[in-house]
Amino acid sequence: KSWQKMGKTLIVESEDCDENESNVSEILNFKGSPIEIAASAKAAGIEAAKSGNNQQAANFFRHGASILNSVLCSDKNESGCSPERELFVACLLNLSMMHLQAGHWEDTVAVSSEVLSLVPSNTKALFRRCRAQIMLGNFELGRADLEQLLLIEPNNIKVLELQKELEVHGITMRVTKSESQQDEAKQDVEKETSSQTDNFIYYELSWNPSSGEELGI
């Protein structure tokens, strides 16, 4: 499944998409305006994710984004800030999280890139796309995202962990920090327990959630 937005095609469906995804709205009997339907789909997705059903959650987030996409495409002022736009970004961010957890790296890159086309400095989208690019072996592309993250969150532990991963592959950053920042960051990394490294929902909670996002996902 794909849709057209701002003259380009956005692909947001993973290869294992549920066959019943097209009936999501009927299953939950969503009613109301587009933003109300999308908000209901997003809330249902969060509940599904909390229950460990990430594929179903992805279907709900995808449905919410699809509903809002049609609204935004018909809005002549879509470049401005609006509740529909904020909810659209939140649904996409949540969808990117589900793809990341499922190891759907190309889908993660595609959805995160759409978020960044709307909000270039969104740290969640930058982080997730960087992680996916590293897993795909696209280290230079990953560095580009990481350098932006370092400018925004220079002492974020998880950002610094990504930097270490890239350095293992011989990729160094062109963004420099002061010695005091580097020392402080190294101390924070040393304190972090390795058991938290792969728990995406745990460490995403440490990020300041964007408008409309619950649970940091």
pLDDT, tens digit, for every residue of 61-112? 999 999 999 888 766 444 567 899 999 999 999 999 999 999 999 999 999 9
Better-predicted residue by pLDDT, 127 or 210: 127
Distance CA 45, CA 51 (A): 10
The closest of 33, 97, 32, 39 to 63, measured between CA atoms, is: 39
Q: Alpha-carbon distance 51 to 89, whole Å?
A: 23
* Statement: residue 185 has pLDDT above 70: no
Nearest residue to 69 (alpha-carbon basis) of 26, 106, 117, 138: 117
Residue 89 · residue 118 · CB < 8 Å? yes
- Distances, alpha carbon 36 to alpha carbons 62, 68, 97, 126, 136, in Å: 15, 10, 22, 28, 36
pLDDT of residue 165: 93
pLDDT at position 183: 52
Q: Give the pLDDT mean for 42-56.
A: 93
Q: Decide: 96 and 108 in contact? Cβ < 8 Å.
A: yes
pTM over 0.85, yes/no? no
The tens digit of pLDDT for each residue in 136-164 reads 999 999 999 999 999 999 999 999 999 99
- What does the block give as tokens for 217? 């996902």
Q: What mean pLDDT comes out for the span 162-174?
A: 90
Query: Can you give the pLDDT at residue 74?
Result: 65
CA angle 201, 154, 202 (to 5 degrees): 10
- In this structure, which amino acid lies at residue 36? E
Tokens of 28: 């939950």
With 90 as the cut, is the pLDDT of residue 131 above it?
yes
pLDDT computed for residue 213 by the predictor: 41
Mean of per-residue pLDDT scores for the chain = 75
Q: Tell me the per-residue pLDDT of 3-42, one tens digit each, with 9 for 90 and over.
A: 434 333 333 344 444 444 445 655 556 678 889 999 999 9
Read off the pLDDT of each residue in 106-122 and give the average, rounded to a whole number: 96
- The Cα 137–Cα 49 span in angstroms is 28
At residue 173, the pLDDT reads: 84
Residue located via tokens 């997730």: 128
CA contacts within 13 A on the Cβ side of 183: 3
Residue-level pLDDT at 189: 41
Distance CA 160, CA 147 (A): 11
